[in-house]
């Protein structure tokens, strides 16, 4: 079993390049979503506290099993801590033996953004060039770079109630885009854009903008409403949009869809990718991907980094599984020799 720690993940991204890594990951995600019915799936297991939430996210096909431990504590940043940290495991289904333990704080940010890009591939206009991001926290730069990996994005409007967060975004990505506009409010930010990403952290029911504020043909990627009682958009906008989700049983509890019932869902993403349901059909309809994150996405990125690690001899071998000649004599490991 190998351990991929933060330096290992940094090495993988540095050697491949972030854009190419995104493209490989999006390809892997698309492949796995096409094989949706081969996976054993369940909603994530979540325990909600007054401080935040801690979740376990399992997923498996008949070859590999994965799970991720992840938290969500929005107020952590006030004390200098990350609001989301994660770690993951990949195992061999045939033996049950773990193959890899892996850093997943960085990888969760990357895979979350890659899913947004995959959704945009099918739901945004093909010539989309202008992006708006509402919420410039730790996830925001990852989102922008992932969308840029598949669409010709040139200009970004950003807004956050924390001006330092906007300045941070601008400093990190100013060299990667022709223009980044720091806006005074969310309404200004979404004016005349092709794609809107909502990534706010407040644990409440909010309405960042309404259907009257957006342009015809806009694609919305709603990702901030990712827990019970936490939403970013209003009912009228949802009802006027072509709504796509990852996994309906989970999104109806945690996403924007907690405000509606299942009859309003146009499709799950895998149905769009497999051609069972139509994607965008014209340049005027409003499409909305209500993305709360799903365990198959963690499976995809864990599988990808494991393959890359083996190809490049990365990762540290760790001794967490007993290696004994007689598997029925586990007690022998406690006998002094």
Kindly report, residue by residue over 43-94, the tens digit of the pLDDT. 899 999 999 999 999 999 999 999 999 999 989 989 999 999 999 999 999 9
Which position among 226, 261, 323, 326 bears the catalytic label? 226
- In this prediction the pTM is 0.94
- Could you report how far apart the first and last alpha carbons of the chain are, in Å? 25
Q: Which residues contact 179 (CB under 8 A, 6 or more apart)?
A: 154, 155, 156
Going by pLDDT thresholds of 50, 70 and 90, the confidence category of residue 255 is confident
The angle formed by the CA atoms of residues 308, 310 and 314, to the nearest 5 degrees, is: 85
Looking at residue 205, the DSSP 8-state letter turns out to be B
Helix (H, G, I), strand (E, B), or coil: what is residue 254?
A: helix
Helix axes 6-16, 295-311, angle to 10 degrees: 80
CATH architecture of 2-107+296-321: 2-Layer Sandwich (3.30)
Mean pLDDT for the stretch of residues 235-248: 95
Helix (H, G, I), strand (E, B), or coil: what is residue 207?
A: coil
CA distance 198 to 158: 10
Q: Are 56 and 69 in contact (CB under 8 A)?
A: yes
Q: What is the pLDDT of residue 307?
A: 97
CA distance 295 to 35: 14
Residues in the chain: 337
Q: What is the pLDDT of residues 86-119, one digit of tens each?
A: 999 999 999 999 999 999 999 999 999 999 999 9
Beta bridge partners, 245, equal 268, 290
Across the chain, what does the average pLDDT equal? 95
Q: What is the pLDDT of residue 204?
A: 76
The structural domains of the chain, with segments of one domain joined by +, span: 2-107+296-321, 116-293
Going by pLDDT thresholds of 50, 70 and 90, the confidence category of residue 248 is very high
Q: What is the pLDDT of residue 274?
A: 98
Active site residue 226: yes
Q: What is the pLDDT of residue 310?
A: 96
Q: What is the pLDDT of residues 182-222, one digit of tens each?
A: 999 999 999 999 999 999 976 678 889 999 999 999 999 99
CA distance 31 to 27: 6
CA 213, 221, 153, 161 torsion-angle sign: positive
Q: For 211-248, give the DSSP string.
A: GGGS-TT-EEEE-S--BTTBB-S-HHHHHTSEEEES-H
Class of the CATH domain delimited by 116-293? alpha beta
Helix axes 18-34, 140-148, angle to 10 degrees: 80
Helix (H) or strand (E) holding 116: helix 105-123
Q: What is the pLDDT of residue 254?
A: 85
The rounded percent of the chain whose pLDDT value lies above 70 is 99
């Amino acid at each position: 079993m190998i351990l991929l720690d933060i330096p290992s993940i940094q090495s993988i991204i540095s050697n491949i390049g972030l854009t190419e890594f995104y493209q490989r990951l999006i390809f892997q995600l698309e492949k796995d979503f096409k094989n949706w019915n081969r996976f054993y799936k369940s909603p994530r297991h979540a325990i909600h506290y007054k401080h935040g939430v801690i979740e376990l996210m399992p997923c498996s096909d008949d070859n590999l099993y994965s799970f991720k431990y992840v938290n969500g504590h929005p107020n952590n940043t006030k004390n200098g801590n990350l609001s989301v940290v994660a770690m993951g495991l990949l195992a061999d289904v045939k033996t049950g033996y773990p193959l890899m333990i892996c850093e997943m704080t960085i990888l969760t940010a990357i895979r979350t953004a890659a899913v947004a890009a995959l959704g945009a591939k099918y739901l945004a206009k093909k010539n989309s060039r202008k992006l708006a991001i509402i919420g410039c926290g730790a996830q925001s730069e990852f989102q922008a770079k992932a969308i840029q990996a598949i669409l010709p994005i040139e200009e970004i409007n950003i807004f956050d109630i924390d001006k330092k967060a906007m300045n941070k975004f601008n400093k990190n990505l100013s060299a990667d885009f022709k223009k980044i506009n720091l806006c005074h409010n969310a309404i200004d930010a979404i004016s005349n854009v092709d794609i809107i990403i909502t990534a706010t952290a407040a644990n409440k029911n909010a309405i960042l903008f309404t259907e009257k504020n957006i342009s015809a043909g806009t694609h919305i990627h709603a990702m901030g409403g990712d827990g019970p009682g936490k939403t970013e958009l209003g009912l009228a906008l949802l009802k006027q949009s072509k709504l796509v989700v990852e996994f309906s049983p989970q999104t109806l509890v945690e996403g924007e869809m907690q405000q509606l019932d299942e009859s309003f869902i146009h499709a799950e993403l895998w149905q769009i990718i497999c051609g069972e349901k139509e994607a965008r059909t014209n340049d005027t309809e409003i499409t909305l991907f209500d993305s709360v994150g799903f365990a198959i996405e963690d499976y995809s990125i864990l599988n990808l980094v494991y393959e890359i690690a083996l190809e490049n001899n990365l990762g540290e071998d760790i001794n967490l599984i007993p290696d004994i000649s007689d598997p029925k004599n586990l007690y022998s490991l406690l006998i002094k020799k």
